[in-house]
Amino acid sequence: MIIIVTISIFMIMGLAWLLNKTFRFRICPICAGVSGTWLWMLIALFLGYKIDPALPALLMGGSVVGAAYQLEKRLPSEKLSLLWKALFIPAGFIAVYGLLVLGWEVFLPAIIFLGVIVLIFFVLMKKNNKNNAAAEDLEKKMKQCC
C-alpha cells in the first residue's frame, strides 16, 4: 500500500505542477500530492475499502504541520511563531483525528477552535500590529521634531 501512496503523491504532485504552468494561481505541488492522497484514501476508507488508517493519518499529520508553517510565514509578528504552532498543530491533529474516525464531536470543536485562533492571530493581531506601527511612527516623528 505504501507504494500506491507514494505513486499517488507523485502523480498528484505532477498534476499540480502542470496546473501551476497553466493557470495564474499557485498550488504547492508537494502539498497537493500529500493532501490529495490522504483525501482519496479517506474517501475510500469511508466507502468501506480496506485502507490502513495509519497511512492517511500520517499524511494528514504532515498536512497539519505544513499548513502551520505556511501560515506562520504570514503572521503579523515573528514573536508569535511558537505560540501559533503550539496552538495550531495539536488542535489540527485533534481535528484530523476526528475526521479520520468520523468523530464529529471531536472534529467540529477542533475546527471551530482552529477558526478562532486563525481569527485572533491573523485578523485581530494584525489590526493591533498596525495600530502599534502607527504609534511607533508618530513617536519617531515627535522625537525628530523636538
Quote the pLDDT of residue 112. 97
Indicate whether 71 and 139 sit together in one domain.
yes
For residue 21, how many C-alpha atoms fall within 13 Å in the half-sphere facing its CB? 6
What is the pLDDT of the chain when averaged over all its residues?
88
Query: Which set of grid coordinates corresponds to residue 96?
Result: 484530523
Please state, in angstroms and rounded to a whole number, the distance separating the CA atoms of residues 84 and 88: 6
Using one digit for the tens of pLDDT, what is the confidence trace for 71-121? 998 888 888 889 999 999 999 999 999 999 988 999 999 999 999 999 998
Domain boundary among 17, 33, 52: 52
Checking if the pLDDT of 17 tops 60, the result is: yes
Checking if the pLDDT of 140 tops 90, the result is: no
Name the pLDDT band for 131 (thresholds 50, 70, 90): low
Query: Number of structural domains, the chain?
Result: 2
Q: Nearest CA to 35 among 111, 94, 91, 96?
A: 96
Indicate whether 138 and 68 sit together in one domain.
yes
Tell me the mean pLDDT in the region 61-71.
94
Indicate whether 47 and 106 sit together in one domain.
no
In percent, the amount of the chain with pLDDT more than 90 equals 68
For residue 25, how many C-alpha atoms fall within 13 Å in the half-sphere facing its CB? 2
Which residues span the domain enclosing 24? 1-52
Helix and strand numbers, DSSP H then E, in the chain: 6, 0
Higher pLDDT, 103 or 10: 10
3-state secondary structure 109-139: HHHHHHHHHHHHHHHHHHHHHHHHHHHHHHH
Indicate whether 120 and 138 sit together in one domain.
yes
Indicate whether 39 and 12 sit together in one domain.
yes
Query: Is-contact 63 38, C-beta < 8 A?
Result: yes
Using one digit for the tens of pLDDT, what is the confidence trace for 18-29? 999 998 888 899
Query: Which set of grid coordinates corresponds to residue 58?
Result: 500520517
Indicate whether 70 and 122 sit together in one domain.
yes
Quote the pLDDT of residue 136. 57
